[in-house]
A = this chain, B = another copy of it.
Amino acid sequence: MREVAVIGIGQTRVEEHWDKSLREIAGEAVLLALQECGLEQAESLYVGNMMSGSANRQQHLGSYIADWVGMRYTEGYHIEAACSSGAAAFRSALMAVASGSVDSAIAVGVEKMTDSPGGEITTQLATAADADWEADMGLSFVAINALIMQRYLHEYHWSKDDFAGFSINAHANGAHNPFARFQEPINKAGYQKAPMIAEPINLLDASPMGDGAAAAVLIPLDNIRKQAGQKLVKVVASTAATDTIAAHSRKNPIWLSAAEKSVKQAYNQAGISPNDIGVFELHDAFTIMAALSLEACGFAEPGQGPRAAIEEQICPKGRIPISTRGGLKARGHPVGATGMYQIVEVVQQLRGEAGETQVERPVYGMSQNIGGSGSNIITHIFKSE
């Protein structure tokens, strides 16, 4: 297995791109990533996307995007793992390069959720849940997460307000990210006043939809001629684990077993412990998911996730900075693109390009992308050299 590095990144701002098609958004991120590393094209293209078949009436995104960016005759695929489609595309691209099958690959995550001819997006998002036993019973994704959060509050005696810090940190950081959907800070009073969506999840616990794309170029480490002063970002771990598709089938619905499985393997692969992680882009689709991720990944004891927010351990200068570019909450959550935004943001941090919210000299950065209500969890660890 060859060592692989990320040598180019690109992203579009997450927003409602009414004036742009799916291929224009994805193409922009791909071309920016290629441009950054001076490549004209790559040998293969992996497109992470969840809903284009229904939301945009367009499947076959491998050929579709390769064609659009002028990558003629290269290979191209569409990878889907619900909200973890982005990281799944990255992991596929990584294996293509690591196996020696190709010498360069691009992973791009893209989702276009506005202007959907496929109808209501909430219904389409529910295709990530169990169609027979969750979606058809009327459970939306917010509702599933609300049930999980209810149970968590009951079990560990936190109050809803104890989760405010996740949202406040995300928005504070998003304010400095030109690619974030929301660029205004919020405060605790605002969080408390936010309208309820599905008790106990209010508007500021939930990440917003949006259109966007983020991309990365991968090549074998040995093929890089490092220039003086150039910071290199190497992939040191890539792991994934599934869990039951329905949240109600899990023995303990308030513990992310797939995250635990995936992250333990990742620490092993990288030969490090949680203490070595300088920045952690986690999947804060809902504040409860941020808490559960911190616990499953070894940054908080079971049931103690909210404490990390209350004590500001999660802020850029804290013990375990998360959502440093806004996270899903403020940067936005264009589902199939999110995993790639997380990876691009970790690369920015490791290169020292994160501006106002730059973490101090991180050596290892981790991204973790969650599909469904915890049913597919993909972890990557990167190292700055």
Q: Which residues of A contact B (CB under 8 A)?
A: 1, 21, 44-45, 50-54, 56-64, 66-67, 71-82, 88, 92, 95-96, 98-101, 118, 124, 126-132, 135, 238-246, 249, 257-258, 261, 371-372, 375-376, 378
Report whether B77 and A63 are in contact in the complex, using a CB–CB cutoff of 8 Å: no
Task: Identify the closest chain B residue to A1 (Cβ).
Answer: B100
Report whether B60 and A376 are in contact in the complex, using a CB–CB cutoff of 8 Å: yes
Report whether B96 and A258 are in contact in the complex, using a CB–CB cutoff of 8 Å: no
Report whether A53 and B127 are in contact in the complex, using a CB–CB cutoff of 8 Å: yes
Complex-state Cα separation, A64 to B245, whole angstroms: 6
Q: How far is the CB of A303 from chain B (nearest CB, A)?
A: 22
Complex-state Cα separation, A54 to B218, whole angstroms: 32
Report whether A95 and B88 are in contact in the complex, using a CB–CB cutoff of 8 Å: no
Nearest 9 Cβ contacts at the A-B interface: A99-B99, A75-B240, A60-B82, A63-B375, A59-B127, A58-B131, A78-B80, A1-B100, A63-B242
- A sample of 10 cross-chain residue pairs with beta-carbon separation below 8 angstroms, ordered by A number, consists of A57-B126, A59-B82, A60-B127, A62-B80, A63-B375, A64-B130, A67-B375, A75-B241, A76-B376, A99-B100
Report whether A73 and B261 are in contact in the complex, using a CB–CB cutoff of 8 Å: yes
In the complex, the count of this chain's copies comes to 2
Complex-state Cα separation, A249 to B245, whole angstroms: 41
Given contacts A63-B244, A76-B376, A101-B238, 9 further A-B contacts (CB under 8 A): A60-B82, A60-B245, A60-B376, A72-B243, A75-B240, A75-B242, A92-B92, A92-B95, A95-B95
Which residue of B56, B130, B242 is within 8 Å of A72 (Cβ)? B242
Which residue of B66, B99, B132 is within 8 Å of A21 (Cβ)? B132
Complex-state Cα separation, A317 to B372, whole angstroms: 50
Q: How far is the CB of A53 from chain B (nearest CB, A)?
A: 5
Report whether B81 and A63 are in contact in the complex, using a CB–CB cutoff of 8 Å: yes
Q: How far is the CB of A221 from chain B (nearest CB, A)?
A: 14
Report whether A371 and B127 are in contact in the complex, using a CB–CB cutoff of 8 Å: no
Which residue of B45, B95, B124, B242 is within 8 Å of A67 (Cβ)? B242
Which residue of B54, B75, B128 is within 8 Å of A54 (Cβ)? B54
